[in-house]
A and B are shown apart, each in its own frame.
Chain A
Amino acid sequence: DAKTTQPPSMDCAEGRAANLPCNHSTISGNEYVYWYRQIHSQGPQYIIHGLKNNETNEMASLIITEDRKSSTLILPHATLRDTAVYYCIVKASYDKVIFGPGTSLSVIP
Chain B
Amino acid sequence: EPEVTQTPSHQVTQMGQEVILRCVPISNHLYFYWYRQILGQKVEFLVSFYNNEISEKSEIFDDQFSVERPDGSNFTLKIRSTKLEDSAMYFCASSESVGQPNTEAFFGQGTRLTVV
Binding site for B on A (CB under 8 A): 32, 34, 38, 41-46, 49, 93-102
Contact = CB atoms under 8 A, between A and B. Distances in A.
Nearest to A94: B98
Contacts, number: 51
Interface of B: 4, 33, 35, 42-45, 48, 56, 89, 91, 93, 98-100, 103-110
Given A93-B103, A94-B98, A96-B48, A43 B109 contact: yes
B43 A101 contact: no
13 contacts: A34-B104, A41-B110, A42-B109, A44-B43, A44-B93, A46-B104, A93-B98, A94-B103, A96-B33, A96-B48, A97-B33, A97-B105, A102-B42
Contacts of B43: 38, 44, 99
Nearest to A43: B107
Chain A interface SS verdict (over half): loop
A29 to B, nearest CB: 15
Top 8 closest A-B pairs, CB basis?
A94-B98, A43-B107, A46-B104, A99-B43, A93-B103, A44-B107, A43-B109, A43-B91
A97 B100 contact: no
A97 B48 CA distance: 10
A38 to B, nearest CB: 7
Contact of A43 (B44, B98, B103, B110): B110
